[in-house]
Each structure stands twice: as C-alpha cells, then as structure tokens.
Structure 1
C-alpha cells in the first residue's frame, strides 16, 4: 500500500512538473525539480539507460586517449527522446563518436554508450553539441558537432574526431590518438564547409582583408588550437 501511495505521489509530481515546463521557460528552479525527480525515482528507471556498456581496453602512449578532453567524466546535460536531463556525469568518445554516461555517480565504474539516434543534443561543461543525423554524408560527417554562435546569425559547427595509429617505438605496441577537426558554417539557413581560408573568404568576401590579417597574426594559434582559432576568427569578422 505504501509503495502504491509513493508511486501515486511521483505521478502527481511528474504531472505538476510537466505543466510547469509548458507554462514557464526554463529556470534554475525547474532544473532543480527535474534533478529531484530523477534522484528520488532512481536514475536506473530513466529511459536513456538502455545502451550497451562502454568498454575501453586501449593501451595508449602518455597523454593520449580517445576522449574529447580526458578520461574524466564531468557534469553535463542531454536532450534524449525530447526530454531534458541535467547534471549527469558524461564523457564524449571522439574516436567512436559515442556519448557516455556514468549513471551511478563518480565512484561507480559502470559506463554506458547512450543510443545516438535518441540524442538531439548534449552539453559538457560550457560546450554544447548537436547531433546532425541528416547532413549530406557526401560532404559532411554525420554525428555530434560542437555548436558555436559567432554573431550576426552565423553559427560555427566543429566536428571533433580522432584518428588512431599504432606506435611501435616502445617494447609493446601502444595506441596514439591524433586529434582532427572539420568545420561547418551555417549562414542564411545553409551549411557550408569551412576547412580552409579560401572557403571562408568565399563566404565572407567583404571581410577578405580582415581574414588574411587574422591568419597572419594568429598562425601559431591555428597550429596549436585550430578550434579556438576558428571561433575567434568568426567572432572577429561577424561582430
């Protein structure tokens, strides 16, 4: 009887939560309510926990891994089956293009590859990623792209991925992951590749001189951190 009453209470609270979400825009109080609901019902009951286990047997050279930043999980949000989930422990495997969830807290070793087709977007730290499922695969890679609004209704999308190769310099073969990036610009409702200076100038011909000057001034940044270079360039010519 107590279980039935408890379940009924959860259903009532869930109904209140849905009504609140429809009537009001997202607030910090709303996020806290979602978190309370998820915590008290149990993370194991949520519908995003239905993917395969994430396994990693890589033996890598120092400071190399398959992940977006590091092997550490950090707090983030996801939109899964049109439902928002907040303050989850996430990581992004950029080699296999998988979003990974650690569902039971930082001290648990369980890791799950979330089903990609059910994910619309996610946020790790301050970076937001969009799942492009229907991009023209002959021009662009499908999958997750970091989204960066650059101003003037221009959006930069960055595909983070890694190539893997064996490193045989050691006594045993170790794996080396090489970070790679591809860039797309959304302008006037259309997607354009933006992987070299000529493509960018073609999109912003009135800013040709500014683009050339930026490439000359920040060539070291382009070499060391190409995504940051592209973000700063697009902000520079669109603000």
Structure 2
C-alpha cells in the first residue's frame, strides 16, 4: 500500500491538528498507520516463510547473523516504501534480511525478496544493496554497510559468514556448525567499485600518496587491530584531506 493511500485513510480518521503534528515526524506517522492496519496487511508482508534448519546445532553461539541471532529493531526501504521499527535479523551466510511480523498471537519470520530491499538500518548500522558491478572478472553485489559517504566517494563494508562443520566435545558426536566472519572493504569512486583487501590495494588506488599511507599504517597499528572500521574511516578521511580531488586508479 502506497503513501498516498495511507494519507487518505489517516485524513478520514484523524483531526487536522493531530495530522499536522504527525506529518512533522514521518516515521511516527507510518508507525501509527502500520499499528492500525497491521504490518501483515502492508507491502512488507511479501516474502517467503523462513525455517531455521540450524536450531540447536550452532557451535558455541557462533551463529550466522549480524550482531545477534535475536531480532533487533530497524527500518527498511522495501519495494519503494519505507517501514520503521521493524523487528529483523540479517543473515550473513545467505545475505538475506529476515523480518518478524505479528498477526494476532502468531509471529511469522519472513525472508524478504532481496531485490526489493534497497536499503535498511539495524541500530546505528546503515546498509545499501549493490547489484552486478564487475571487478577483475568477479561480481560485486549484495548488501554493504556505508562507513563513509561524500560527493567524491563511498567507503563500504561487505559482511560475510562462512559455515564450518564441528563435532561436539568428548562424548558428543553430534554434528554442529560454526560461522566464521569474512569481511571486505569496498571503495566506490569515479563510477567504479574496488575491493580493499590490503594496504597494497589502497596504494594502487592512490600511488602518489604511498608515503602518507605507509606512515598512517605505522602510526595506527593499534587502532587497526582494535577497530578496523574506524581505522579505515580515518585512513580515507586522511586521504581525502591530502588529495583533492580524489582519483582512484
């Protein structure tokens, strides 16, 4: 159901003064609407039922989800419609977004259609969908966190978790699974996406800044180990400051 339909229904049931107040805060307005009609009656109820086949088989809590295997609150731009305060989980093995929708006393877990999810937020993390950009005969796609964004470039992070088999401890021959993180940084500049796997990749993009890049890595070794995201953010903030305009090779 589109925004115009929502506006019509609200005008029929709410005084003008209240409507004016709600309009000032769009997310509160649409939250109210979804509570009235129920999210299961909106366009968000458009996916396939999710069944967790790994129940009781996760080794030492090393699950496949982003942040936590519990649902967390976020927002989604889905099929050109924004939804706020949605209970969701992001599966890093399959790169799919799951949502929990309540219909009465029943809660359904749905796997959203990936191609309809343009962007979403989980807590303070913002993600966008990238489709079909080729680099070195491989394709860059899927959801990426936005670490930095300005008029010149976007610094992104691709999260992934890889499934591994584990056998239980002594006396337990049950097969378990653990999911190991494999994350990559991606730079979008001059209309191109480029993966960043090492310092050498950054230097190839900015060969004239080789000395400054090397010095930054030496001075910020501790930060790189403790908080790699902040390290990359500061690295590119420094590059931007020293290179105007930014040009990726």
2:50 maps to 1:51: no
Question: Residues 130 and 144 of structure 1 are in contact (CA less than 8 Å); yes or no, is this contact kept in structure 2?
Answer: yes
TM-score by length of 2: 0.78
**Equivalent pairs, count:** 220
From 212, 215, 237, the counterpart of 1:213? 215
Stretch deviating more after TM superposition (53-62 or 30-39): 53-62
- Map residues 20-35 of structure 1 onto 2, 5 A cutoff: 29-35=25-31
Kept after mapping to 1: 8 A contact 2:147/2:229? no
* Whole-Å separation in 2 of the counterparts to 1:121 and 1:205: 33
Residue of structure 1 equivalent to 2:229: 227
Call closer, same or farther: CA 1:92–1:148 in 2, change over 3 Å: same
Name the counterpart of 2:74.
Answer: 76
Task: Could you tell me which runs of 5 or more consecutive residues in structure 2 were left unpaired when the two chains were aligned.
Answer: 13-22, 242-249
Decide which of 96, 111, 126 is 1:113's aligned counterpart.
Answer: 111
Please list the CA deviations of residues 46-90 of structure 1 after superposition, one character each: whole Å capped at 9, or x if unmatched.
112121122223212213100011112211111111111111111
Deviation of 1:94 after TM superposition, in Å, equals: 0.4
Distance 1:116 1:10, change over 3 A: closer
Q: RMSD across aligned C-alpha pairs, in angstroms? A: 2.7
Look up the match of 2:201. 199
8 Å contact kept, 2:30–2:83: yes
Matches for 1:3-14 after TM superposition, within 5 Å: 12-13=8-9
Query: Taking structure 1 as reference, are residues 164 and 11 closer, same or farther at Cα in structure 2, changes over 3 Å only?
Result: same
Q: How does 1:140-179 map to 2 (within 5 A)?
A: 140-149=139-148, 153-168=152-167, 170=169, 171=172, 172-179=174-181
Report the Cα offset of residue 127 of structure 1. 1.2
Deviation at 1:219, TM superposition (A): 3.4
What TM-score, normalized by structure 1, do the two folds share? 0.81
**Cα shift at 1:109:** 4.5
Q: Contact between 2:153 and 2:189, CA under 8 Å: does it hold in 1?
A: yes
Equivalent residue number for residue 100 of structure 1 = 98
Alignment correspondent of 1:89: 87
Which is richer in strand? Answer: 2
User: Counterparts of 1:83 and 1:53 in 2: how far apart (Å)?
Assistant: 21
The answer for unaligned runs of 5 or more in structure 1 is 1-8, 17-26
After TM superposition, what 4+ stretches of structure 1 lie above 4 angstroms from structure 2? none
